[in-house]
Amino acid sequence: MSAPVAASTYSKDNPFPARITENRLLNKPGSAKETRHFIVSLKGSDLSYKAGDSLGVYPTNRASEVNEILSRLGATGEELVSPAMLKLPAPITLREALGQRLALGGPTSKIISTLAAKATDAGEKAKLDALLVPEAKEQLTAFLDEREYVDLLAEFPSAKLTGQELVDHMRKLMPRLYSIASSSKLYPHEIHLTVAVVRYTTNQRERHGVCSTFMADRVAVGETPTPVFVSNSHFGPPENGATDCIMVGPGTGIAPFRAFVQDRVASGATGRNWLFFGDQKQATDYLYQEEWEKYLADGKLARLDLAWSRDQGAKVYVQDKMRASAKELWTWIQGGAGFFVCGDAKRMAKDVDQALHDIIAEQGGMSAEEAQAYVKQMKKDKRYQRDVY
Ligand SMILES: Cc1cc2nc3c(=O)[nH]c(=O)nc-3n(C[C@H](O)[C@H](O)[C@H](O)COP(=O)(O)OP(=O)(O)OC[C@H]3O[C@@H](n4cnc5c(N)ncnc54)[C@H](O)[C@@H]3O)c2cc1C
Ligand SMILES: NC(=O)c1ccc[n+]([C@@H]2O[C@H](COP(=O)([O-])OP(=O)(O)OC[C@H]3O[C@@H](n4cnc5c(N)ncnc54)[C@H](OP(=O)(O)O)[C@@H]3O)[C@@H](O)[C@H]2O)c1
C-alpha cells in the first residue's frame, strides 16, 4: 500500500534474465516437505519492488520429459512447428516449442478425440472411444487429471501424431508468481522467495511442478538466466506505520510477512506486529525460525503464535491459535489493526476467514450478519487483505 514504484523497462512481456544466487532448503532433515529459500539477483536491471509484490518467473520444462516426447513421436526435435496457441510470426523447432514455450501437462479432451481418430490398434481405439461417450464425463476428467501428454503418447502408441499435431493441442507455458519474501529497504538489489517444491506421483509416474522444480533442480546457481518480472500488488503492509499488523501465513504463506516485518522494522514503524505461522512439525518445518525469534526477543514482533499440525494426534491450525487468543485479537482489531492472510486459498484462507467472522461476532457481541458487515467494512478500508493461491 506504499507509494507505487517507478515503471521498469522490464515487464511480463520483456522479463529480466536474472541469476538465482542462492537455493537453500529451509526444512530440516526428516521433514515431509521441501520448502526452499531462493535469492534472485536484480543486478543489471532497473527492477524495484515493494513489500506485498510478487515475482513472476518463466520456467522451462525438464529435458528428460521433452526427450521422451520426441522419442515417442519419432522426432529429432529439429522439425519446425507453429503451435496454434502461440500465434508466432515464424515457425520454431519442435524442441524449443516443447522445452520452453508449451505446457506439457494439463491435456484436454480434444487430444483424446484426436488420438481416437488416429489409433489403429483396436484395443487402444476402444479405450479412447469409451472415454468420449457423454456418460463417461467424470471418468474422462479423472483420466486426464492423472496424465500429462507424455503419458498419452506412451499409452496409445498406435495413434501416430506429428509434432505439429501434438503441439496444436498444448497450452502456452505460463510464468508462475511467487510472493516476495524480502523488503527492498533491506535488499534493494535482490528478491527473496519461499517456494514449496511440488513433487508427487500420478499414473505411476513421478511428477515435477514445472516452475518450482525448475528453480530447485534445473537452475545452476549464479549461472542460468532466469526470466523474471515484478508483479505489483495492492497487497501490502499498512500505509501508516503506527497501525498494528496481524499476519496469518502458514506454510509458504509466510513469504510476504517476512517482507512486511523487514519493511516495518526498517522504516521504524511503531505499530505492533502479530504473526500466526504454522506448518507440519516444529522440529523440521519452522521456516525462518531464528529470524522470528530474534524479532520477538528485540520486541519487533509483539506476538508470535505457532500451529504445528502434525506434532500431536489432533490437527492444530493457525485459526485454532486465533480462536485461542480471540479476546486479544478483537482488542487489536478494534484498535484499528490490519488483518493480512497469505497461503492456501482452497482450505486455509476460507477457514481463517470463518474464524475471523466468529471471533468478531463472539467478542464484539454481534449477530452473524453484523459480523459480516464489520468484515466487509474492514475489506473496504483495506484493513483485511489476502494474497491467496
Ligand atoms: C499471487 C501468488 C503468489 C504465490 N506465492 C507463492 C509462494 O510464495 N510460494 C510458493 O511456493 N508458491 C506460491 N504461489 C504458487 C506458485 O505460483 C505455483 O503455482 C507453484 O509453485 C506451483 O507451480 P509449479 O510450476 O511448480 O507446479 P505446476 O507444474 O503448476 O503443478 C502444480 C499443479 O500440480 C498439481 N498437483 C500438485 N500437487 C499435487 C498432488 N499432490 N497430487 C496431484 N496433483 C498435484 C495441481 O494440479 C497443481 O495445480 C503463488 C501463486 C500466486 C498466484
Ligand atoms: N491451491 C493449492 O492446491 C495449493 C495451495 C497451497 C499449497 N499447495 C500445495 O501444498 C504444498 C505445500 O504448500 P505450503 O508449504 O504452502 O503448505 P500447506 O500445504 O499450505 O501447509 C501449511 C500448513 O497449513 C496446514 N493446513 C492444512 N489445511 C489447513 C486449513 N484448512 N487451515 C489452516 N491450515 C491448514 C497444514 O497442515 P496439514 O498439511 O498437516 O493438514 C500445514 O501445517 C505445495 O506442494 C503446494 O503445491 C497447494
CATH number at 260 reads: 3.40.50.80
Spatial separation of the C-alpha atoms in residues 72 and 66, rounded to whole Å: 10
In a domain, 9, yes or no: no
Residues 356 and 284 in one domain: yes
Asked which of 231, 263, 279 is the last residue of a domain, the reply is 231
Stretch 163-177: mean pLDDT = 98
Q: What percent of the chain has pLDDT over 70?
A: 98
Lowest mean pLDDT segment, chosen from 1-15, 74-88, 112-126, 205-219? 1-15
Residue of 344, 351, 352 with the most ligand 2 atoms within 8 Å of its CB, for mutation: 344
Asked which of 167, 188, 207 is the last residue of a domain, the reply is 167
What is the identity of the amino acid at 150?
V
Please identify, by atom number, the ligand 1 atom nearest to the C-alpha of residue 201: 42
Spatial separation of the C-alpha atoms in residues 262 and 182, rounded to whole Å: 7
Please identify, by atom number, the ligand 1 atom nearest to the C-alpha of residue 198: 26
Q: Is 137 in the pocket of ligand 2 (CB under 6 A)?
A: no
Ligand nearest to the CA of 348: 2
Spatial separation of the C-alpha atoms in residues 97 and 266, rounded to whole Å: 45
Residues 158 and 179 in one domain: no
Please give the residue range of the domain that contains residue 290: 245-388
Ligand nearest to the CA of 278: 2
Q: Is 203 in the pocket of ligand 1 (CB under 6 A)?
A: no
Residues 188 and 49 in one domain: yes
Residues 261 and 376 in one domain: yes
Check pLDDT > 80 for residue 6.
no
Nearest CA to ligand 1 atom 11: 195
In a domain, 191, yes or no: yes
In a domain, 192, yes or no: yes
pLDDT tens-digit profile of 66-115? Answer: 999 999 999 999 999 999 999 999 999 999 999 999 999 999 999 999 99
- pLDDT recorded at residue 255: 98
Residues 212 and 253 in one domain: no
Residues 92 and 207 in one domain: no
- pLDDT recorded at residue 269: 98
- Cα dihedral across residues 99, 100, 105, 111: positive or negative: negative
Nearest CA to ligand 1 atom 50: 178
pTM of the model: 0.96
Nearest CA to ligand 1 atom 53: 389
pLDDT tens-digit profile of 188-201? Answer: 999 999 999 999 99
pLDDT tens-digit profile of 234-257? Answer: 999 999 999 999 999 999 999 999
pLDDT tens-digit profile of 8-63? Answer: 899 999 999 999 999 999 999 999 999 999 999 999 999 999 999 999 999 999 99
Q: How many domains does the chain have?
A: 3
Ligand nearest to the CA of 322: 2
In a domain, 347, yes or no: yes
Contact 191, 43 (CB under 8 A): no
CATH number at 135 reads: 1.20.990.10
Stretch 158-184: mean pLDDT = 98
In a domain, 343, yes or no: yes
Q: Is 209 in the pocket of ligand 1 (CB under 6 A)?
A: yes
CATH number at 203 reads: 2.40.30.10
Ligand 1 geometric centre to CA of 284 (Å): 21
Residues 155 and 223 in one domain: no
- pLDDT recorded at residue 3: 52
In a domain, 206, yes or no: yes
- pLDDT recorded at residue 10: 97
Q: Is 292 in the pocket of ligand 1 (CB under 6 A)?
A: no
In a domain, 239, yes or no: no
Q: Within a 13 Å sphere around the CA of 52, how many CA atoms are in the beta-carbon half?
A: 21
Residues 366 and 273 in one domain: yes
Closest by CA to 385, choosing from 249, 241, 229, is 249
Residues 261 and 150 in one domain: no
Say which DSSP state 104 is in: S
